[in-house]
Structure 1
């Protein structure tokens, strides 16, 4: 993901979401324009977005707002309409009344759907805030139409009677008298230079547990009902790709010392931002994992099905995106987090017989990725976001642990 940061200052740490490049602190601008009238939209479970239209090329003077915990800018033009622009914000702590310094937002996409029609900055996790100031210094393309600031309050979560947690499955036992190590299964590959399987709204058949080579047990998964997703926000149709042959690992770039009980609030805020500000059909990630190793369902459509995500620009097809909640540039990923990532990768790849320590090929679907559209790229079956897109995600410390993660996932596949 793209990275923007702000200092941790609450029980829910103040740090950015969904970014992967370090934030810059800038000097404040000298001029300001009158504050526009906000527009508030409330959702189930007490969540809301407050939208402030931004005057072209102007400053939004410091002002009080409805409480929020995440912010970002969206616009109606192309995703790169603010390329080379300077966008910076400062916020007021709702508990202390203190204003933060200025923080720059990342304006160029490194995640999202390959055919995104709307642009947005990387969101910034602020913690509980009730004031904001914004400055936009446009790039060569000028100010895109419909430029606006969105403030997200994740609320308490939408109530639901659906299953809140899928329990972990018991270890897969090999057939009586059979080998203890399942045979290696060569993953399917796209034709050289050809496209991968296009998305479909028709759900594929569910895999039969234990039938594929290297099948690992499913870890426990907190469902969307468990983290309080408001299902009325997302697109009500699901979208599927071909069999999942690749896991891309991300980090959300929130601070690493959060209480794990607060992880659902972070996920709800990302979800609202991805849908309401970015204009995506659902949250971009297929799964998320917190520092305590808890796995969360991301994009809806079935945890065991190849749901088409919006996580790695150009390589969302035939892959799944898993986000580690936290920032792992310098901070080392905790052991339980790595265990959760390994367990999820082993299970998800095992559903299609893909060895977690193997390799696979994907075809780039976007010129905005690291590779021109149509390029066939050879990946490790478990790769970092940066392997497909020019970004620092999932952070240097977590990226350095991917070889260990692949080995641990492969060991789970072989029992």
Structure 2
């Protein structure tokens, strides 16, 4: 791995000695620090800087000056020193060239965590789009939520990875993060009104409703952008609107599952900073996010009721909506209440845009992904998982296995509310 120059981190005077610590190659080829930094240093090795919003703090620290040439040339990878930091809660890497195959561990309450892989990010704007041209020319990992931590160590399986930067974010905390927010288990006026229409027409066959209806499933409860306090100065451009909706792409954020209700606005605020400030995207990539408490959060700006083009599914953003469930569902089961939130959101977006089907497949032409080259026309499920379009594990095996049921439940909800005027 290699450090770049220039960052928004403040490195203490200890870095001259701490980050210059030579790495030695252990048996098996993994490099480790000859003398790790003291955890009792008066000032941390990495100090996050408060951003202009007075809320989010961030550090972007290059990694290769800590590794001498011998360690960098090792085919077995490297291990950074244990670095003390000011408080952070989210961590990621960005790089150029080959995937570093990195994992991190952090220090919380004086104890070091187990290692956690940093998976390459499969989200993003298409390279030929205006947003893609503005984005930084770097690859990136998912942004992982680690809770309150004050130390970090990075391990790479690819010592030849180039120009690797460590990104640490503390999203800050406001009183509004603990404010009451609504979930989809609570009905709203739109749902009650629509339910009354269904009750009035419950004796009419569904097929007759579909033939004459301009009605659709109601909007579920949404938590507006202001509830997670994005800094508007981080926006890079303006929303782009789509004319048609063909798909809903389901994601997970791969950011961990052990979060509280009040953590969620902070997590989204950190994602927003990472997507805009570190990666140069217009806005947060996802159109909507769903937490484990069944709350739906508006992500990308431009109007929740409109067809805003996101940066969630590389090559397939142009006729779709991206919904991310917050957490990692490779081995953990997503809660049924959270899956219901996806069902309600997908049914509303499809119905509002004149779609009658949530099941089956549609033909769509790729704008260029690592699975389907630009110009390739494929048939994909109307509600699919990120892995259907890109080489990624997203949305995690456990959530992916639930997609057939999510499709059927979404269709059932759309049919239920297709009541004639």
* TM-score of the alignment, normalized to the shorter chain, above 0.5: yes
**Alpha-carbon deviations, 1:90-139, whole Å to 9, x = none?**
2111xx21112333322x44221121433212222211001112344646
Preserved CA contact (<8 Å) 1:159 1:225: no
Other-structure match for 1:242: 243
**Could you say which structure has the higher helix fraction?**
2
What does residue 374 of structure 1 align with?
375
TM-score of the superposed pair, with normalisation by structure 2:
0.74
Select which of 101, 109, 112 maps to 2:124: 112
Shift in alpha-carbon separation, 1:395–1:82, aligned structure 2, 3 A:
same
Indicate yes or no: 2:144 matched with 1:124: yes
- 2-side partners of 1:341 and 1:300: how far apart? 19
TM-superposed CA distance for 1:222, in Å, is 0.2
On the 8 A contact 2:125/2:311 being kept in 1, the answer is yes
RMSD across aligned positions (CA): 3.3
Match of 1:47 among 44, 53, 56: 56
> What do residues 238-273 of structure 1 show as CA deviations (whole Å, max 9, x unaligned)?
122232221011112244353333222221222222
State the 1:184 CA deviation: 9.3
Q: CA deviation at 1:338?
A: 1.2
Aligned equivalents of 2:328, 2:46: Cα separation in 1: 34
Which structure has the larger Rg over C-alpha atoms?
Answer: 2
- Rounded Cα–Cα distance in structure 2 between residues aligned with 1:312 and 1:264: 23
Shift of 1:51: 1.9
Give the equivalent residue in structure 1 for 2:206.
Answer: 181
- Deviation, 1:89, is 2.3
Question: Which residues of structure 1 form unaligned runs of 5+?
Answer: 1-25, 187-210
Q: Across the two proteins, how many residue pairs are aligned to each other?
A: 352
Unaligned runs of 5+ in 2: 1-27, 38-44, 68-78, 417-421
Match of 2:162 in 1: 143
Q: Which whole-Å CA distance do the structure 1 matches of 2:209 and 2:313 have between them?
A: 27
Cα pair distance change 1:180/1:230, threshold 3 Å: farther
Distance verdict in 2 for CA 1:176–1:103, change over 3 Å: closer
Q: 1:53 to 1:358 in 2, by over 3 A?
A: same
CA contact (8 A) 2:363 2:379 kept: yes
**Residues 59-95 of structure 1: CA deviation (Å, up to 9, x unaligned):** 54222212100111224x4xxx133x332322111xx
In 1, are the aligned partners of 2:122 and 2:314 still within 8 Å (CA)?
A: yes
Q: 1:98 to 1:158 in 2, by over 3 A?
A: same
Quick one: distance in 1 between partners of 2:240 and 2:172? 28
Alpha-carbon distance in structure 2 between the residues aligned to 1:101 and 1:352: 46
SS at match of 2:146: strand
Q: Distance in 2 between matches of 1:318 and 1:158?
A: 37
Runs of 4+ in 1 over 6 A off after TM superposition: 32-37, 174-178, 182-186
Query: Greater relative contact order: 1 or 2 (C-alpha under 8 angstroms, separation 6 or more)?
Result: 1
**Alpha-carbon distance in structure 2 between the residues aligned to 1:321 and 1:32:** 46
3-state SS in 1 of match to 2:395:
coil
Q: CA deviation at 1:143?
A: 1.2
Q: Taking structure 1 as reference, are residues 262 and 413 closer, same or farther at Cα in structure 2, changes over 3 Å only?
A: same
